[in-house]
């Protein structure tokens, strides 16, 4: 793997369409699929999603917590899910939202961004709210491994506002500060930087923010959280081509039927393409 994450992601989005499908094995979804809420159900769920979509979607985003709740056996399923997803041609963004300092942050990074780790992923979600500088070990290892990061910047949950919209002494709020840090990380990178931001698709007009970070914008909130692909131009404007919309339950609820999963993912992908074409 010689290309950077940003290069691989740009290629995948251009060839397969800009869609990220979450792999979120909620207990309720396992039940809807007729599966038990146990490791066997977890494995069947994850394998079905990968088999249905790995050869056609740009990105999978497994939510680590739904695997970790089963302990070591659940983590083993996550390892296999990552391996099979990447073997099938999809990129993997591990949604683990890790954030710490010093050697602990370095250890989190090694778990997901070291090339010989069984959980090695193309990118990792991280939290910068111990200070952006606390992410330095993950940034360094991502560069070394050709991986990427998605940093929580402007998230879709209402509680995030009390931190992300807090105003600093220089008059800029915290979310905007994170975007500025990422723009600096991506300076000069082509065709796309490897250090992205998480920006909710449910947030409405963000024209007061500079979202042009020369990197990808992971946009959760489409489907179950209420946003639609048609909302994307109003939120992201001129940077829409760099947006990676995430859909989880909106696709997953159509399982376990493989054909229905594919049809749902294809429908979202086409709607997103149409929205991007408007800008």
Three-state DSSP at 95 gives: strand
- Give dist(CA 182, CA 171) in Å, integer: 19
Catalytic residues: 97
Tell which residue, 163, 199, 197, 168, has the closest CA to residue 183.
197
- Give dist(CA 110, CA 22) in Å, integer: 22
C-alpha of 268 from chain center: 16
Q: How far is CA 223 from CA 34, 253, 271, in A?
A: 22, 11, 12
Contact indicator for 119, 144 with CB cutoff of 8 Å: no
């Amino acid at each position: 793997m010689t290309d950077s994450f940003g290069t691989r992601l740009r290629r995948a989005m251009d060839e397969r369409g800009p869609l990220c499908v979450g792999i979120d094995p909620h207990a309720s979804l396992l039940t809807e699929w007729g599966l038990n809420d146990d490791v066997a159900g977890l494995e069947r769920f994850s394998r079905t999603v990968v088999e249905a979509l790995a050869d056609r979607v740009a990105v999978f985003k497994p939510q680590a917590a739904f695997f970790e709740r089963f302990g070591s056996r659940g983590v083993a399923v996550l390892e296999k899910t990552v391996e099979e997803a990447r073997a099938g041609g999809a990129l993997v963004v591990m949604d683990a939202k890790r954030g710490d300092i010093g050697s602990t942050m370095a250890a989190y990074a090694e778990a997901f961004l070291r090339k010989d780790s069984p959980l090695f992923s193309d990118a990792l979600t991280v939290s910068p709210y111990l200070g952006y500088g606390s992410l330095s070990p993950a940034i360094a290892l991502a560069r070394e491994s050709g991986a990427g990061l998605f940093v929580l910047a402007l998230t879709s949950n209402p509680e995030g506002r009390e931190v992300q919209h807090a105003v600093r002494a220089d008059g800029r709020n915290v979310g905007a500060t994170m975007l500025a840090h990422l723009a600096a990380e991506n300076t000069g990178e082509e065709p796309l930087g490897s250090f992205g931001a998480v920006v909710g698709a449910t947030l409405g007009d963000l024209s007061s923010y500079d979202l042009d970070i020369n990197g990808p914008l992971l946009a959760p909130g489409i489907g179950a959280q209420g946003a639609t692909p048609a909302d994307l131009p109003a939120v992201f404007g001129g940077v829409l081509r760099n947006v990676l919309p995430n859909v989880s339950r909106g696709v997953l609820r159509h399982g376990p039927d493989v054909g229905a999963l594919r049809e749902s993912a294809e429908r979202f992908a086409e709607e997103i393409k149409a929205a991007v074409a408007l800008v």
